[in-house]
A and B are shown apart, each in its own frame.
Chain A
Amino acid sequence: MTPTVSFKDKLRHGFTVFKWELRNCTGSLIVFAILAGVATTIILTLALTIGITEAMDDSGSLDFEDVQNAVRIFQMVASYAVFYINAVFTIIYTIKIYSYLHDKRKADMYGALPISRRTFFVAKTVSAYLLSIVPTYFFLGIIAVISLAFGQPLVTEVTGIYVQLLLGAIASISFYALLAVCCGTTPNTVLSFIAVNLAYPVAALFIKGTIKAFFIGLPASRYNDSFVMKALNPLAAYTGGNVIYWILFTAACLALGIWLVKKRKAECAQTSFAYYLPVYIVKLLVAFIIGMFLGVLFASLNVFALPYIAFIFGFSLGSMPAYVIAHLIFYKEIRTLPKTLIAFGGMCVTVAALMGVCQFDVFGYSRYVPEDDEIASAGYIDLENCYQAGSESVYALADMAADDFEQPYQINKITAFHRSVVEVYYTKDSNRYANIWSSMLFSSVPMDWMNEGKIVSYQLKSGKKIMRYYDPSLNMYSVFTDEITRTMVPTSLVESNVYFANYSAFMQAPVGSVTDMSLRIDGSSRNLRIAESSAVSEAQAAADREVLLKAIREDHQAHPEAYRKDASGTMTIAFTRQPQRRGNSFLDALVASIPSYFGDNNDSCVIYPDDEHFQEALRQVGIFNSDGTYNENNRYAK
């Protein structure tokens, strides 16, 4: 019978281990405290000296606002300094704490202690968390107190550091802990950690670049901010995003570590590996990225004039030596290489097969345009003319557009545009490997550009939905800019009333988001700005804008046939966009979320004299008199 150890005893044992680790790391903690303290003091001294000099005016009086600015700079610089010093010391503590798994003599000492392996491992991990986080929080706290003493509250970036630090520390330490359990030596653990953190994002970039370059029209290809891009790169947790993912990642690493540590053979200390998963991951990742680099390079340079063959040649040339070198680094011998080549061979075959699928468009994804008679309804969105651009992802917009147009002539315009795009792609863009490089780094237009992307989507009679996104702003699609965007785009659809109703700010923007409004009354003779002025408060102006905007919406609903799209319309509004929404579909959350951008935050429309609600609204806000004539003394005319 095995007597069970109570939870209280486990806690007591865990606390003992923590005290022991604290004592063993005292030296490192003292050095950290000295460095963080000195750095904070230097930054505070410099910030205050410079700040007070700036704040002093000629009369010798002090502008306290300038001093506060100096303190704000101190707060940010000092917090980041402590943050980075912490990163260095976290590495030191973590390597030291888990070295008990890799040193024969330590294994003898710790293995014989009357504490279960799992309790010991958990206690070590919690010690690593606390040693990394608590001293840093202490110094961040001091920085916060100094700032508050000067009347400067914590800025958002600094409050974010608390979360970033917590997430980064627990994710990175847990991942290292798992690798430490799997590896037999500390150098192999460190090498694996660095290699996975570096190689994984590069491998993900290559995969992303390849998908984007070959699957033209894919509305879901950007995963820069997705966990997919950083899945095995826990150092990225220090950036603070994907909180749920990193918590789950930490829990998974810990759970796996706890499960494996009891099964781990203590005699693996100082041998290569206790479990072979990390070495396979590292060797395959390194071989993959080096192979992809050479393969894509050769193919994009059109070596042999056969891009696919050039890719296979380059991939083999790069990946095999990389795999062998990685093996030699980890094992320090080549005897065991042959039996690990099966995994390498499997990866090569898989890459060759998948690249073949991309190269020859085996599933016809890029070529496919549905026949008109298969289509129940279709949609087209020009992101230059779309209120939702900037707040919805491309995928979400494509999804909502599929039901917009049902008339055969409208559907035909869309399929004609779609066919022309596909044709240009297949006739002018012969070597798509060259597109991989740009596709790796760019997934959508930069945020400050106006988005010229075009979305087509179809609701087929079979119930299937087809969505494609073409972005002429990117280099790889430059062939479109001249030949397609000027001639084939279905402009009439963009100017249609359906489009106005679905994608104009007039119809879609929340009334509270409209920040400015201009009206041209009686042609161009009278221009009014419904905005805050000396005569009108912002609250009054906002209330009036709301009344007028609601009125035009009611008028458009009453007369949907009225053509209102006009760049120089009688009414112009400026608005703030809703923040970009993400994860509104599984695909979005997993890999997709191409954000749509729109630089222009205003919209115009035409108002007609028989827009009854609007006329009434003008009377209500006092711009018109009760008899419908213009009120010269209205509050916006002053």
Chain B
Amino acid sequence: MLEIKGLTKRFDKVVAVDRLDLRIEQGAVMGLVGSNGSGKSTLLRMLAGVFRGEEGEIFLDGMPLFDNPSAKGKCFFIPDFPFFYNNSTIENTAVLYRDLYPNWSDAAYQRYCTVFPINPKDRIINMSKGMQRQAALILALSTCPQYLFLDEIFDGLDPVVRHLLKRILIEHVAEHQMTVMIASHNLRELEDLCDRICLMHRGRVLMERDLDSLRLDYRKVQVAFREVPNVPNLFAGMPVVSVWRNGNVFNVTLRGDESSFMPALEALQPAYISAMPLTLEEIFISEMGAAGYDTNSIL
């Protein structure tokens, strides 16, 4: 289990992570989403032991994580731009990881070298961005990590490899109870993979929830009227997050169960009414807007 207690990280006067508390159970796949500069990458670097917070502590299975080889041996971090030397190949880089990571598996290494369409003898530096990430993934998965921290891992991967990656990660989670934390702006991919979502803004956790329950919590309702009722606030008393009007048609985002707002909407006698769940992206925009992120002017 990964436990973050009161973690704060500052870069000069900028507070990148602000008194953050988080608890991630074994076997969870957590999507870390948030605005640019919300502290996602910084948090991952602290989880990987690269940065040390000014305040607070990270515990991994009860052990402090920073500069602790035993704890770090269970983790692997793939940053947004993984580093490789000019002469690095997957094969020769594996030599370093094989000696340092206690759970390194040659069998897993052989397997992933065949699963991902990459020659382990080729120079990594000459590969495309997506292939470099695949190279990093082969090495990461070969260390059989119990905690895998991925920063913008889908960036540059083609749809087939993205699908492959998701399948492998799900297998690992199912078989080895691996905990995965993925920071990404690609919410569509996270939706497929994650069971929990952590939404960050200005270094703080706005929301950390189970993805399914999060989805159930929001509804996008399209309401059409033959003639719009002449009342000052049409949706007053309903848990409205946002409203967008196009003539006689209203697109309303509401929080909560359908049973809590449908009777009130039907009471307005619309010509047409339809409710559907929100995508993660829509939830993100709604929540960020609620948190003061000026989504209207940006969008």
Contact = CB atoms under 8 A, between A and B. Distances in A.
Interface string B176-197: 0000000000000000000000
Interface in B66-97: 67-70, 72-73, 75-77, 79, 81-83, 85, 87, 92, 95-96
Nearest to B74: A114
Given A12-B99, A20-B96, A114-B73, A27 B11 contact: no
Nearest to A13: B100
A112 B50 contact: yes
A111 B51 CA distance: 8
Interface string A243-287: 000000000000000000010011100000000000000000000
B201 interface: no
A227 to B, nearest CB: 35
B69 A116 contact: yes
A212 to B, nearest CB: 47
A115 to B, nearest CB: 6
B82 A114 contact: no
A265 B95 CA distance: 28
B216 interface: no
Given A3-B70, A114-B72, A266 B50 contact: yes
Interface string A3-35: 101000100110010011001101100000000
B45 interface: yes
Nearest to A105: B83
Most buried by A among B63, B64, B79, B95: B79
A275 to B, nearest CB: 15
A107 interface: yes
A267 B51 contact: yes
A535 interface: no
B87 A24 contact: yes
A362 interface: no
Nearest to A107: B50
A105 B136 CA distance: 13
Contact of A116 (B64, B67, B81, B92): B67
Given A13-B100, A24-B85, A108 B50 contact: yes
Nearest to A96: B85
Interface in A96-153: 103, 105-109, 111-117, 119
Nearest to B72: A114
B79 A108 contact: yes
Given A20-B96, A24-B87, A117 B72 contact: no
A273 to B, nearest CB: 13
B37 to A, nearest CB: 14
Interface residues of A, number: 32
Contacts of B45: 108, 111, 266
A494 B77 CA distance: 82
A547 B62 CA distance: 86
A538 B87 CA distance: 69
B48 interface: yes
Contacts of A106: 83
Nearest to B143: A114
B77 A112 contact: yes
Given A105-B79, A108-B77, A108-B79, A19 B95 contact: yes
B83 A103 contact: yes
Given A108-B48, A113-B96, A116-B69, 10 more contacts: A1-B63, A3-B70, A9-B69, A16-B96, A19-B95, A105-B82, A106-B83, A108-B77, A114-B102, A117-B67
A112 B83 contact: no
A114 B101 contact: yes
Contacts of A265: 51-52
B180 to A, nearest CB: 15
B157 to A, nearest CB: 19
Contacts of B34: none
B51 A262 contact: no
Nearest to A106: B83
Contacts of A16: 96, 99-100
Interface of B: 11, 45, 48-52, 62-64, 67-70, 72-73, 75-77, 79, 81-83, 85, 87, 92, 95-96, 99-102
A524 interface: no
A430 interface: no
B76 A112 contact: yes
A103 B83 CA distance: 10
22 contacts: A2-B68, A2-B70, A3-B70, A9-B69, A13-B100, A16-B99, A24-B87, A26-B87, A105-B79, A108-B48, A108-B77, A108-B81, A109-B83, A111-B45, A112-B49, A112-B50, A112-B72, A114-B69, A114-B70, A114-B72, A114-B101, A116-B68
Contacts of A24: 85, 87
Contacts of B75: 112, 114
B85 A111 contact: no
Contacts of B76: 112
Given A24-B85, A105-B83, A112-B77, A1 B99 contact: no
B100 A115 contact: yes
Given A105-B81, A265-B52, A267-B11, A5 B70 contact: yes
The 8 closest A-B pairs by CB, nearest first: A111-B50, A105-B83, A114-B73, A16-B99, A114-B72, A112-B48, A108-B79, A112-B77
B69 A115 contact: yes
Nearest to A119: B69
A5 B67 contact: no
Interface string A302-339: 00000000000000000000000000000000000000
Interface string A597-637: 00000000000000000000000000000000000000000
Nearest to B96: A20
A114 B100 contact: yes
A1 B49 CA distance: 17
Nearest to A12: B99
Nearest to A16: B99
A113 B70 contact: no
A289 B196 CA distance: 62
Contacts of A267: 11, 51
Contacts of B70: 2-3, 5, 114
Contacts of B50: 107-108, 111-112, 266
Contacts of A12: 99
Contact of B51 (A2, A105, A117, A266): A266
Nearest to A115: B69
Nearest to A9: B69
Contact of B87 (A27, A112, A117): A27
Most buried by B among A19, A114, A267: A114
